[in-house]
Chains A and B, each alone.
Chain A
Amino acid sequence: MTKIDSVASDLASCIESSARLFPDRRAIVNPDGSAVSYGELNAKADRGAAFLVAQGVVPGDRVGILMPKSANTVTAMMCILKAGAAYVPIDWTAPVERICAILKDCQIRTLFIDSRLATSIKVAEAGVEHVIVVGQGTGTSERTRQSRWDDAVNHTESVSPRSERGSDDLAYILYTSGSTGIPKGVMISHRNAVSFVDWCASVFHPSPEDRFSSHAPFHFDLSVLDIYLPLRHGATLHLIDDETGKNPKALAAFIASQRLTVWYSTPSILHLLASFGHLDRYDFSSLRLVLFAGEVFPVKHLRQLTKLWPKPEYYNLYGPTETNVCTYSPVPLPIPEERTEPFPIGWPCAHCAAAVLDPRENLPVRKGEEGVLYIAGESVFKGYWGRSNETNAAFRNADGQRWYSTGDVVREDPEQGFIYVGRRDRMVKRRGYRIELDDIECALYGHDSIREAGVVAVNTEAGDTQIVAHIVADKEPPPDILQMKMFVAKALPSYMSPDIFIFHKRLPRTSTEKVDYQSLKQLQQRLP
């Protein structure tokens, strides 16, 4: 019986121990079916790290990754970690301005970039000095220093990549939507990530026989479990590309044919699988665990899924990017037909402590009362990159610990643990994405004929989140809804596009002349 090192102080050593124990096992399977073994992954990462060090990357540097999902992308992450630097996975499908804003924000000088993107994005203007071009193609026309991926991972000079790697060093930065429309970088240390991965192992018992899904894109925090839990335990990671990921029929066929044992995604995707995936046509007997996180799973949809997939164990995982998963709850099956309230987010994970406070007085609420959920513990992030004010505002120091305010309102139930009630602010979640409703209003104000906009989120009877835009137009007749849809599609990602547009003569106001969002929400509920 082989044994996994019980203590890993950093993320790269997770992979190193698997490479020692299982050099020939498949570590990563690409969307096209080609596979990389643990031995190969680790050796490439060692050589790539030596290359980065030789090129002047030093501990503490942020190295960007702008690539679609592939085994090379994971290898690039390992190269960067082994060089003592931190990786920054950037959504390669994002608008160019957003990509450049991230490159500038955390001063990325070295960037791994897919050759197909290299010609279309002027990364030098964003401060990038050196690009490592992955894939066939000519690379960029800019005067940036360029290297080829093959040269990086076949580097032979014996520069030791083993610079000191401390557990409090920065491992990666994930960008999430900021309230002003500018993304903010959540800084995660090795200790933060490793404590989370270790907790996952204690609850989900991964083995080298497991086959994990990787559905979430790598700039999403769900991918941390996807990548490191299997790789630390000698299991296999099956990468799902964007195209398959959005297509429930293809996805169902993929899960069955790869005989995946562990699935992790947002509830939205699971709902699509249950509704459109023809799950009754395939054999899913290998599937032992279904994990979901990122938003509330409406019970109606969850019940539908568990009827189609009765065998696996289900877990609701909760936690913002800033803490990763911090509370969890198993879902007992079968789900009674009469149940309508969503499942609780449950009790704190072993590596976290939770407190429910009244934010006005900073004091704990009485048990069972509503308050804001605060989280302390090893997985809680270091701070927002370059934003000390926002970092300070997010934390409260007490009992010698840093407590992060999640902004989520919960109440504690003695039987079930924490029950999610809602948000303190105007942030909502849809399809697993954080959305600031004010951002949508901002975009709507960009339309010539919109004078006022008030955007609210309402829950449908089925438990889905619907975004409703209430609009006052500058002139009569107002723009038609088709025009509004097309306008919004150009300005915002599709998950932020309002489902319903309603035109008004004027918006309801509070006594202090602010838009009265409560009235707007009720207005919607009275509509047919």
Chain B
Amino acid sequence: MRDNGTIKQDLRNYILSEVLPGESPANLKDNTPLRTSGVLDSMGLLGLVSFVEEQYSIELEAHETGIDNFDTIDSIASLIETKIAGRDKA
């Protein structure tokens, strides 16, 4: 079982190592905009989506990874929680 805090930590670790190598972890906040700021471009997004899908055995549709639910660690983590809940119910 993964709680919200663990999911955020997973996301933070992935982004720091793949997108922001060398960055101090303290600078990446849960509400740092990733897409709208240009930190994560379309290629970076694909990598993150694939990481999330494998890590949590869920599948994300294109419309789910828009800027509304996929811009910050906060919003991505809550999307993942919703998807996990949906998966476990099914």
List the interface of chain A (C-beta within 8 A of B): 246-250, 272, 275-276, 431, 480-482, 485-486, 488-490, 494-495, 497, 499-502
Contacts and interface: CB of A to CB of B under 8 A. Distances in A.
Interface centre among A247, A250, A480, A482 (most CB of B within 10 A): A482
A276 B50 CA distance: 7
Contacts of A490: 38
Contacts of A489: 37-39, 41
24 contacts: A247-B62, A248-B46, A249-B62, A272-B46, A480-B27, A481-B21, A481-B23, A482-B20, A482-B23, A482-B27, A482-B32, A482-B39, A485-B19, A485-B20, A485-B37, A485-B38, A485-B39, A489-B38, A489-B41, A490-B38, A494-B41, A494-B42, A499-B21, A500-B22
Interface of B is mostly: loop
Contacts, number: 52
A426 B21 CA distance: 24
A503 to B, nearest CB: 8
Contacts of B19: 485
B24 to A, nearest CB: 7
Contacts of A501: 22
B41 to A, nearest CB: 4
B28 interface: yes
Nearest to B40: A485
Interface of B: 19-24, 27-28, 32, 37-39, 41-43, 46, 49-50, 62
B50 A275 contact: yes
Contacts of B62: 247, 249-250
A482 B46 contact: no
A246 B49 CA distance: 13
A481 B41 contact: no
A481 B20 contact: yes
Please name the 5 residue pairs, one residue from A and one from B, whose CB atoms are nearest each other, closest first: A489-B38, A494-B41, A481-B23, A485-B39, A480-B27
Nearest to B61: A249
Given A276-B49, A481-B22, 13 more contacts: A247-B62, A250-B62, A276-B50, A480-B27, A482-B23, A482-B27, A485-B19, A488-B38, A489-B37, A490-B38, A497-B41, A499-B21, A501-B22
Contact of A482 (B28, B41, B49): B28
B86 to A, nearest CB: 19
A247 B45 CA distance: 10
A486 B19 CA distance: 12
A246 B42 contact: yes
A482 B16 CA distance: 10
A495 B32 CA distance: 22
Contacts of A486: 37-39
A261 B42 CA distance: 27
A480 B23 contact: yes
A490 to B, nearest CB: 7
A246 B22 CA distance: 28
Contacts of B24: 480
A464 to B, nearest CB: 11
A494 B50 CA distance: 20
Contacts of B27: 480-482
Contacts of B50: 275-276
B61 to A, nearest CB: 8
B39 A502 contact: no
A249 B49 CA distance: 11
A501 B37 CA distance: 17
A491 B21 CA distance: 21
B37 to A, nearest CB: 5
A72 B51 CA distance: 39
Nearest to A528: B21
A502 B22 contact: yes
Contacts of B42: 246, 494
A488 B39 CA distance: 9
A500 B21 CA distance: 6
A478 to B, nearest CB: 11
Nearest to A488: B38
A38 B52 CA distance: 45
Nearest to A272: B46
A490 B32 CA distance: 16
Contacts of A246: 42
Contact of A276 (B20, B23, B39, B46): B46
Given A275-B50, A276-B50, A481-B22, A494 B32 contact: no
A249 B65 CA distance: 13
Nearest to B46: A276
Contacts of A247: 62
Nearest to A480: B27
B83 to A, nearest CB: 16
A247 B65 CA distance: 11
A489 B62 CA distance: 23
Nearest to A497: B41
Nearest to B41: A494
B81 to A, nearest CB: 22
A378 B43 CA distance: 37
A481 B19 CA distance: 10
A248 B45 CA distance: 12
A45 to B, nearest CB: 34
Contacts of B22: 481, 500-502
A276 B23 CA distance: 27
